[in-house]
Amino acid sequence: MSGQFEITGIDITVFIIYLALSRLIPLFFRGKNENSEDYFLGSRNFTWPLIGFSLIATNASGASFVGLAGAGYAQGISVYAYEWMTTVILVLFIFFLLPFYLRSRVFTLPEFLGRRYDGRSRMAFAGFNLFANMFIDMAAALYAGAIAFRVLFPDFSLFVIVVGLAVLAGVYTVIGGLSAVMVSDTIQASVVMLGGTLVFILVLIEAGGWQQATAAATEDQMSLILPAGDDALPWPGLFLGVLLNGLYYWTTNQLVVQRTLGARSLDHGRWGSIFAGFMKLAFLFLFILPGTFALGLYPNLDNPDLVFPTLAFDLLPIGIRGLMLAALIAAVTSTVDSILNSASTLVTMDFVQNFRPQTSQAALVNIGRITTVGALIVACIWAPTLASFESLYGYLQSVLAYVVPPIVAVFYIGILWPRINGLAAFVTLVGMIPLGVFFFIINEVIPDSAPIQFLYAAGISFAVSATVLVGISLLTGPPRDMERVREVTWSTEYWTQETEELRGTPLWKNYRFWAVALLISTAIIVVIFA
């Protein structure tokens, strides 16, 4: 195995053609975009296949290609915990939160939080979402794409590549809105899944079969469950940090949930989420195991995040590797375009329309486009700084572990217990999130200073946040309008009523059947690789 990157004219040609087509085709499906519902939610007409593919494309960005394969190389398959846990989280989502999101017909999750609590919580969460979109999600996606692109063109600076990717993503996002984004996501997700499958098969063949491929890895590197003292992913952290990170990302993050907010119906939103869950199970084979198997092929890689591009160049035929790398770059821009649409929706609907309700629909769409450009500029400036972190995936998961537990507490405790009031939610958000940022810097950014593993820190943060949330609510009394609050909180009545409605529905149309099938499939994989 050479590990050398030799680009050919055929690869470059395929690369350019695919990128051009993947940018132009979605514009033909952009819709009229005459009002905010058209532009930001695709007229609320998305079907379940589009939703499922878009959820995967938004998540399976270059950060998955580069980050998951790199983590598989550096620490083994235990990183799959973030993927299989997603299936459990999506089941919780479709039972507990999605019905209330769609019933309230909100544009954004901060808007929903405003209905559950008050305007203060809405503004606080909208501000955090914008921060996360630019400094966590978009910056990571741009950095991952730049790492892959430098495989092709190593003489380009990281910043120049980041700017180029941002422009590539921004152009059709500004023009096309969420409808164009969803079509682009479907194209990218399909190619990503096919490309990952091809790389997995080829690396298995090159390694000489399953036994030889796994021989270079240690027992811990081939296990999903690691000891409690493990530095990267201790097993108690699965039920603390991994679960909390996932609950935030998949169920309370505007970037991801916006796809389901545009669902044609609750059923389409649920089926799309379950479909995405089944595709997430395949990530072990598409991204993580190729990185782990590469230990035997490239035992001394300086940068684990280069393992997937290295495999692509060494194993894929000329032309196909150009397509694969183009798909990787396109996957990055698909994630970026999703983030841009999310950021522009937040600014437009949570700030502009909230404070200036008389703003015309045309003006709202234009403001959303201007916001897209602004968010791109901020992310471009921050993205190159991620090179200072040990690994991309480590950066993503550690920063989330410190800042998102208060959000999970506010959403889930609030949806399950009507007694939680607006003051408690606001204090929890504005007090605990900045505190999380502070401890992230102290524990993770300053060298050799981490006194506690970040997944354990997430559990502690959630416990403190829940105590603050419940304590303030008990001390200051119930919400002023309990009747309104009960309309956006879960009760067993919903389950009983829905059970009656589903009676007689064929199994293949019953989302509960598919949710159980998803959980059983997950359990089988976890048991096999535990």
pLDDT of residue 227: 84
226 has which bridge partners? 234
pLDDT of residue 43: 64
Tell me the per-residue pLDDT of 336-347, one tens digit each, with 9 for 90 and over: 777 777 777 777
Tell me the per-residue pLDDT of 141-189, one tens digit each, with 9 for 90 and over: 777 777 767 766 777 777 787 777 777 766 655 565 666 777 777 777 7
Closest CA to 148 of 74, 69, 52: 69
Higher pLDDT, 380 or 316: 316
Closest CA to 485 of 50, 41, 100: 100
The DSSP symbol for 60 reads S
What six digits make up the tokens of 507? 């199994």
User: Please, which pLDDT band fits residue 85 given cuts at 50, 70 and 90?
Assistant: very high
Rounded Cα distance between 109 and 122, Å, is 8
Q: Read off the amino acid at residue 198.
A: L
Per-residue pLDDT for 407 more than 90? yes
Contact predicate 413/252, CB 8 Å: no
The DSSP symbol for 2 reads -
Per-residue pLDDT for 528 more than 60? yes
User: Please, which pLDDT band fits residue 278 given cuts at 50, 70 and 90?
Assistant: very high
Per-residue pLDDT for 60 more than 90? no
pLDDT of residue 452: 80
Higher pLDDT, 412 or 136: 412
Side-chain half-sphere exposure of 271, counting CA atoms within 13 A: 15
Tell me the per-residue pLDDT of 219-248, one tens digit each, with 9 for 90 and over: 888 888 888 887 778 888 888 888 999 999
263 has which bridge partners? 46
pLDDT of residue 93: 94
pLDDT of residue 17: 85
Higher pLDDT, 446 or 317: 317
Per-residue pLDDT for 44 more than 80? no
Q: Which CATH number is associated with domain 9-25+37-347?
A: 1.20.1730.10
pLDDT of residue 27: 66
Per-residue pLDDT for 294 more than 80? yes
Rounded Cα distance between 105 and 43, Å, is 12
Higher pLDDT, 125 or 196: 125
Q: What is the value of pTM for the model shown?
A: 0.84
Contact predicate 252/29, CB 8 Å: no
The fraction of the chain above a pLDDT of 90, given in percent, is: 23
Q: Return the number of other C-beta atoms located less than 10 Å from residue 110's C-beta.
A: 27
Contact predicate 202/315, CB 8 Å: yes
The fraction of the chain above a pLDDT of 70, given in percent, is: 85
Per-residue pLDDT for 208 more than 80? yes
User: 362 CB contacts (<8 Å, ≥6 apart)?
Assistant: 34
User: Please, which pLDDT band fits residue 519 given cuts at 50, 70 and 90?
Assistant: very high
The DSSP symbol for 76 reads -
What integer best gives the mean pLDDT of the chain?
Answer: 82
The DSSP symbol for 1 reads -
Per-residue pLDDT for 36 more than 70? no
Per-residue pLDDT for 35 more than 60? no
pLDDT of residue 13: 86
What six digits make up the tokens of 176? 């096309």
pLDDT of residue 91: 95
pLDDT of residue 410: 96
Contacts 24+ apart (CB under 8 A), 428-435: 428/465, 428/468, 428/469, 428/472, 429/121, 429/124, 429/125, 429/128, 430/124, 431/406, 431/468, 432/405, 432/406, 432/461, 432/464, 432/465, 432/468, 433/124, 433/128, 433/403, 433/406, 433/407
Longest dimension (CA), the chain: 70
Tell me the per-residue pLDDT of 2-32, one tens digit each, with 9 for 90 and over: 555 567 788 888 878 887 777 777 666 655 5
234 has which bridge partners? 226
Rounded Cα distance between 261 and 254, Å, is 9
User: Please, which pLDDT band fits residue 491 given cuts at 50, 70 and 90?
Assistant: confident
pLDDT of residue 315: 84
Per-residue pLDDT for 355 more than 80? no
Contact predicate 309/148, CB 8 Å: yes
User: Please, which pLDDT band fits residue 524 given cuts at 50, 70 and 90?
Assistant: very high
Rounded Cα distance between 345 and 337, Å, is 12
Rounded Cα distance between 308 and 290, Å, is 8
User: Please, which pLDDT band fits residue 392 given cuts at 50, 70 and 90?
Assistant: low
Highest mean pLDDT among 62-66, 167-171, 234-238, 465-469: 465-469
The domain spans of the chain are 9-25+37-347
Q: How far apart are the first and last CA of the chain?
A: 30
Cα angle for residues 74, 2, 314 (degrees, 5° grid)? 80
What six digits make up the tokens of 309? 């591009």
Q: Which whole number is the average pLDDT over 92-110?
A: 89
